[in-house]
Amino acid sequence: MKHSLVVEKFEEFLKGESLKLTPQRRRILDRVYATHDHFSADTLYAWLREEEGPQVSRATVYRTLEVLSRGGFVAGLDTGDGGMVYEHVLGHEHHDHLVCMSCGRIDEFQDHEIEELQLKAAAAKGFTLVSHVLRLSGFCGPCQEKRESQGKESETK
């Protein structure tokens, strides 16, 4: 999706909520859409400090992430170890996550069948499904290999 379209939608959203388009909000939106990675609030804050542009405080980063999240521009996902990371979502198909327990790498996958089964499961319990989180944790290929070769000796208790 073209970034100008994202910006347009953001402006619309802000208008609808009686919020203002400030340089800070605009810069955060741009930065969030400039990466394809998952990032924490703190990482985003670090990017904004290092790079050129309107200064943004930590508080504003958090406040804006909340706005972006509410507007469906970003989605947060907890990494399973207490952390929270975000990703931009406009123009991306829904997907779920695979998290490597060793290196922290986050991969993505889609499975339409699982989605359908979720709907069925929710309906069976009388729930109206709004969203879901599916996070698979394990070891990515490289980390698993390391474990298999190095794991032997350290496994002895």
Partner DNA sequence: TTATTTGCAAACCTTTTGCAAGTGA
Partner DNA sequence: TCACTTGCAAAAGGTTTGCAAATAA
Nearer to its own copies, 59 or 124 (CB): 124
The answer to whether 98 touches 38, Cβ cutoff 8 Å, is no
Structural element, H or E, at residue 9: helix 3-16
The answer to whether 54 touches 97, Cβ cutoff 8 Å, is no
User: How many CB atoms within 10 Å of residue 85?
Assistant: 20
70-109 footprint of DNA as x/- string (CB under 7 A): ------------xxx-------------------------
Pick from 15, 49, 94, 132 the residue near its own copies by CB under 8 A: 132
- For residue 39, what is the DSSP state? B
The amino acid occupying position 59 is: A
Residue 64 touching DNA (CB under 7 A): yes
Please state, in angstroms and as integers, the Cα–Cα distance from residue 75 to each residue in 25, 119, 122, following that order.
16, 20, 22
36-75 footprint of its own copies as x/- string (CB under 8 A): ----------------------------------------
Structural element, H or E, at residue 85: strand 84-88
Residue 109 touching its own copies (CB under 8 A): yes
Angle at 48 between CA 84 and CA 13, to 5 degrees: 70
- Which partner, its own copies, DNA, none, binds residue 58 by CB below 5 to 8 Å per kind? DNA
- Footprint on this chain of DNA (rule: CB under 7 A): 14, 18-25, 40-42, 54-60, 62-64, 66, 82-84
- Footprint on this chain of its own copies (rule: CB under 8 A): 78, 80, 82, 84, 96, 98, 100-101, 107, 109, 111, 113-114, 117-118, 121-122, 124-141, 144
